[in-house]
Amino acid sequence: MTEQTIAIAPGTTAPAREFGPLTRQMFVRYSGASGDLNPMHYDDTMARAAGNPSVFSQGMHQSALLATFATDWLGAENVRRFHVRFREQVWPDDVLTCSGEVETVKMNGDGSSLVTVSLTCSRQTGAVAISGSADFLLPAPHAG
Amino acid sequence: MTTATTEAPEPSAIGAVGTPFEVLVERGKIREFAAAMQSENPAYQGPGAIVPPTFLTTATSWAPPGSRVVVGFDRRRLLHGEQEYIFHGPLPRAGDVLIAQERLIERYAKPGKRGGEMQFAVVVTEFRSPTGDLVAEARGTFIQTAPKGGPS
């Protein structure tokens, strides 16, 4: 067994992770996986007719990337709440950076802890595309 | 752009609920979703795969006609403002059956940044086990932006 103890305390951050450059194929893959077939995300003709320079990424697509970042950090099994706010559109060729910081840690009587983190998905411009937060219930550390 | 709306269904009132519908949590769908989220987390693979945090967005593909509440906003001015998923215990996993039901819980308005009025609606979907235990909730906030050149 390797030592996998990660210090989790308010202010703890995870190494940021990049996704991209984003491609239309990624948007299409998310459309199919989610069942959201809004053509604004894969049909340039319709996206332009609606006043956009091109197709753009689903806010829920970026949320899913942020979820990948967060669950790799604190454990897929441990997530108990995941919240996102959609802030700015994301375009083909964008490079997104996901980052997170521990806000609070609440110890439970059984040794488990409820960790609340803030999450951010930013574009290469520095503008925030998604701001989010999540709760993770971390199991009690194994004795010994 | 015109503002004509044809045959728009009646918007749901606060407290309105949709018809409950069955959602099957499927291993292949979880795997497909994990690929779209560029996750290689082993928790999303295999016979015991659990759902990713935003996976329940796929539940609407199980919704039969008439099972969804009607936000009633103009599609051209509709924004998805916020989304939240709450899990009340261990995450649903492949093979689970959930019963989903939508409820329109809140409507409110705010002044638009450039005049007019922005409308908000909050829809909560409850996901219960077949025995009625509340397993998860999805909460979506939808926004109708102020009409362009509207009153200010």
Structure confidence by residue, pLDDT tens digits, A66-116: 999 999 999 999 999 999 999 999 999 999 999 999 999 999 999 999 999
The partner residue sitting opposite B53, judged by closest CB among A32, A36, A82, is: A82
Contacts of A21 (CB under 8 A, 6+ apart): A92, A93, A94, A95
Q: What is the residue whose two structure tokens read 């697509």?
A: A61
Give the Cα separation of A108 and A80 in Å (integer): 15
Q: CA A42: distance to chain centroid? A: 21
Split into its structural domains, chain A has a count of: 1
Q: What percent of chain A has pLDDT over 90?
A: 92
Asked if the Cβ–Cβ distance from B41 to A71 is below 8 Å, we say: yes
Question: What pLDDT score was predicted for residue B7?
Answer: 61
Q: How many CB pairs under 8 A join A and B?
A: 99
- Answer yes or no: do A81 and B38 touch at CB < 8 A: no
B45 touches chain A (CB under 8 A): no
Q: Which residues from chain A sit within 8 angstroms of residue B32, using beta carbons?
A: 32-33
Restricting to A residues 58-117, those with a Cβ less than 8 Å away from any Cβ of B are 59-61, 63-65, 67-68, 70-72, 76-77, 79-86
What is the distance, to the nearest Å, from the Cα of residue B106 to the centroid of all Cα atoms in its chain? 14
- Chain A residues with CB under 8 Å of B81 CB are 85-86
Asked if residue A5 belongs to a domain, the reply is no
Contact A64 B36 (CB under 8 A): yes
The answer to whether position B87 is within a domain reads yes
The band of A1, judged by pLDDT with boundaries at 50, 70 and 90, is very low
**Mean pLDDT score across all residues of chain A:** 94
CATH number at residue A45: 3.10.129.10
The model's pTM is: 0.93
ipTM tops 0.85: yes
pLDDT at A141: 84
CATH number at residue B15: 3.10.129.10
Look up tokens 């050149």; give the residue.
B149
Can you give the pLDDT of all 152 residues of chain B as single tens digits? 444 455 667 899 999 999 999 999 999 999 999 999 999 999 999 999 999 999 999 999 999 998 999 999 998 899 999 999 999 999 999 999 999 999 999 999 999 888 899 999 999 999 999 999 999 999 999 999 998 765 44
* Percent share of chain A, pLDDT over 70: 94
Whether B71 and B14 have beta carbons less than 8 Å apart is answered as no
Q: What is the pLDDT of residue B8?
A: 65
Within-domain flag for B53:
no
Overall number of domains in chain B: 1
The answer to the question of residue B72 being in a domain is yes
C-alpha distance from B63 to closest chain A C-alpha (Å): 12
User: Phi/psi at A39 (nearest 5 deg)?
Assistant: -70, -10
Backbone φ, ψ for residue A128 (5° rounding)? -85, 120
Residue A119 lies in a domain: yes
Phi first, then psi, for residue A59 (nearest 5°) are -55, -35
At residue B115, the pLDDT reads 87
Whether residue B33 lies inside any domain: the answer is: no
> Could you tell me if residue B35 is inside a domain?
no
B77 touching chain A per CB within 8 A: no
Which residue range is the domain that position B96 belongs to?
3-25+59-144
Closest CA to B138 of B61, B64, B86: B86
Q: Range of A46's domain? A: 17-138
Q: Is the pLDDT of residue A33 over 90?
A: yes
Classify residue A115: in a domain, yes or no: yes
Of B35, B39, B85, Cβ closest to residue A82: B85
For residue A56, the distance in angstroms to the closest alpha carbon of chain B comes to 14
Query: Is residue B152, in this structure, part of any structural domain at all?
Result: no
**Pairing mode of beta strands A113-122, A128-138:** antiparallel
Would you call A39 helix, strand, or coil by DSSP? Answer: helix
Does A79 sit within 8 Å of B91, measured CB to CB? yes
Nearest CA in chain B to A130: B82
Write the residue in B41, B60, B84 that is nearest to A72 by C-beta. B41
Q: What pLDDT does residue B152 have?
A: 42
ω before B151 within 30° of 0 (cis)? no
Burial A112-124 (b: 16+ CB within 10 A, else e): ebbbbbebbbbbe
pLDDT at position A58 over 60: yes
